């Protein structure tokens, strides 16, 4: 078997079929298998998967997070190469044909990745090239540790299976309660093992999840109804993936990992501040205050968060009286919703 396509899924009944069809539409002469890891879905995802019959192999597990789901798929894989894909993204028909032969021809290359596009939920292009100018090449490890993660979409990369096995797969610390940052860290570990190769073609379409919908899905069971400090601690840990990334980067790479660790802490602070803005917009200043205080713990010198916290502490009648006096952009910065997408968080 040449390639194992590993797709983790959790409550993706609306997109998983289209994702799988894009895989089976490949114009690729080599053999490939498709392994879908159903990570505790509670919607109709399992029923959708059953329609594909023996064309796919399904592994069912309790919800353990995307890292554990990918590890389960990798452990079951028979392919020489592992192609990772998320359950809401799409491949072009030439994805495998343009990437797999690169690894065949370059034994020193441990992974190959391509460019991609970002699109919204209805398929409109948001960003035509994921790799920005100046970063549209195969990176050195120092470049990847230089701060902002290298622009590698999950669905755009194919990795030698022996490399993923050698590094132990995705770290267990990234789990269902600590979301985010796992891909960034695994790319660093893979790059440490050998060279990357870049294919300057758009071979994957990445579907952006709208900010509000993203967090609504994550918090569906408790729609901003966290009363005690203990409950909020449980809530805050759901954003802990990037804190895990920061810690692991420092532990594994030492001083070289400082910049990527700083980025990860910024990401955590931004996400918490963004959820605070969502809570303000939803009329829940109490929850917003908890989010802002948590964000400040990650970035205590960020003055904007203190202003937002102060606004959230005002009596409702005072904030209503002051709001018309503020410029629209400032008013939204204080009262939400967030300006930016989930990808960037609240700046």
* Interaxial angle between packed helices 211-218 and 258-281, expressed in degrees from 0 to 180 and rounded to the nearest 10: 90
- Whole-number Å distance between alpha carbons of 170 and 187: 10
Distance CA 162, CA 80 (A): 8
Predicted local distance difference test score (pLDDT) of residue 220: 41
Q: Are 88 and 19 in contact (CB under 8 A)?
A: yes
pLDDT value at position 144? Answer: 97
pLDDT at 216 over 70: no
Each residue's pLDDT tens digit, 226-264: 555 555 666 676 678 889 999 999 999 999 999 999 999
Closest Cα partner for 9 from 75, 55, 54, 57? 57
CB of 98 closer than 8 Å to CB of 114:
yes
Q: What is the pLDDT of residue 227?
A: 54
Helix axes 328-335, 258-281, angle to 10 degrees: 100
CATH superfamily of this structure's domain 3-207: Spore Coat Polysaccharide Biosynthesis Protein SpsA; Chain A (3.90.550.10)
Percent with pLDDT over 90 in the chain: 74
SS3 state of residue 148: coil
pLDDT category of residue 172 using cuts at 50, 70 and 90: confident
Kindly report, residue by residue over 104-126, the tens digit of the pLDDT: 999 999 999 999 999 887 788 88
Residue 184 has pLDDT above 90, yes or no: yes
Q: Is the pLDDT of residue 284 over 90?
A: no
Please state, in angstroms and rounded to a whole number, the distance separating the CA atoms of residues 189 and 257: 12
User: For the chain, where do the domains classified as CATH 3.90.550.10 start and end?
Assistant: 3-207
Q: In what helix (H) or strand (E) does residue 279 lie, and over which residues does it extend?
A: helix 258-281
pLDDT digits (tens, 9 = 90+) for 121-165: 778 888 999 999 999 999 999 999 999 999 999 999 999 999 999
pLDDT band at 283 (very low <50, low <70, confident <90, very high): confident
pLDDT at 266 over 80: yes
DSSP state of 140: P
Per-residue pLDDT averaged across 67-90, rounded? 96
Interatomic CA distance for residues 312 and 141, integer angstroms: 42
If pLDDT is split at 50, 70 and 90, which confidence band does 345 have? very low
């Amino acid at each position: 078997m040449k390639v194992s396509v590993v797709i983790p899924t959790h409550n993706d009944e609306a997109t998983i079929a289209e994702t799988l069809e894009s895989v089976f539409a490949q114009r690729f002469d080599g053999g490939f298998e498709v392994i879908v890891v159903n990570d505790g879905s509670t919607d109709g995802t399992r029923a959708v998967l059953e329609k594909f019959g023996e064309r796919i192999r399904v592994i069912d597990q309790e919800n353990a997070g995307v890292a554990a789901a990918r590890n389960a798929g990798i452990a079951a894989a028979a392919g020489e190469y592992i192609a990772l894909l998320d359950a809401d993204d799409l491949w072009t028909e030439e994805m495998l044909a343009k990437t797999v032969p690169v690894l065949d021809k370059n034994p020193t290359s441990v992974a190959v990745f391509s460019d991609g596009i970002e699109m919204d939920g209805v398929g409109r292009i948001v960003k035509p090239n994921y790799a920005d100018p100046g970063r549209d090449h195969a990176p050195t490890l120092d470049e990847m540790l230089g701060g902002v993660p290298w622009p590698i979409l999950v669905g755009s990369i194919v990795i030698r299976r022996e490399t993923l096995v050698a590094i132990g797969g995705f770290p267990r610390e990234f789990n269902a309660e600590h979301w985010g940052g796992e891909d960034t860290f695994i790319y660093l570990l893979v790059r440490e093992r050998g060279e990357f190769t870049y294919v300057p073609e758009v071979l994957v379409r990445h579907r952006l999840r709208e900010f509000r919908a993203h967090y609504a899905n994550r918090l569906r069971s408790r729609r901003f109804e966290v009363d005690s400090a203990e409950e909020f601690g449980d809530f805050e840990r759901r954003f802990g993936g990037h804190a895990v990334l920061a810690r692991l980067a420092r532990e594994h790479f030492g001083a070289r990992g400082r910049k990527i660790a700083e980025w990860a802490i910024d990401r955590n602070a931004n996400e918490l501040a963004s959820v605070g803005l969502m809570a303000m917009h939803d009329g829940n200043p109490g929850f917003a205050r908890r989010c802002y205080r948590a964000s400040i713990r990650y970035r205590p010198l960020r003055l904007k968060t203190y202003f937002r916290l102060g606004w959230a502490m005002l009596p409702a009648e005072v904030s209503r009286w002051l709001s018309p006096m503020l410029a629209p952009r400032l008013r939204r910065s204080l009262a939400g919703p967030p300006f930016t997408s989930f990808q960037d968080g609240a700046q």
